[in-house]
Amino acid sequence: MEHMIHPFSELFEQLGLDASHQGIEHFLQQHKLPDEIELVNAPFWSPAQAAFLTEGLQQDSDWAEVIDQLNVSLR
């Protein structure tokens, strides 16, 4: 099965965040995670956002690659 690769902006849309280039840049500048906190446990996610990220990673869904990119970008 071939996975679809979602752009970063689509992930932000799925999370209900500003998906514009400026919105993404602002979010990444304002939210940094220390290495000891897993992405899905970040304090700035709503329960629904955390569930979406958790499910995407656990099921190795089409979103997993871009979720991994978000994780790296927040470090």
Q: Which of 5, 11, 3 is nearest to 73 (CA)?
A: 11
* pLDDT confidence of residue 6: 79
- For the packed helices 64-73 and 47-58, what is the interaxial angle rounded to 10 degrees? 120
pLDDT per position in the chain (75 positions), as tens?
Answer: 455 677 889 999 999 999 999 999 999 999 999 999 999 999 999 999 999 999 999 887 889 999 999 999 999
Rounded distance between C-alpha atoms, residue 66 and residue 75, angstroms: 15
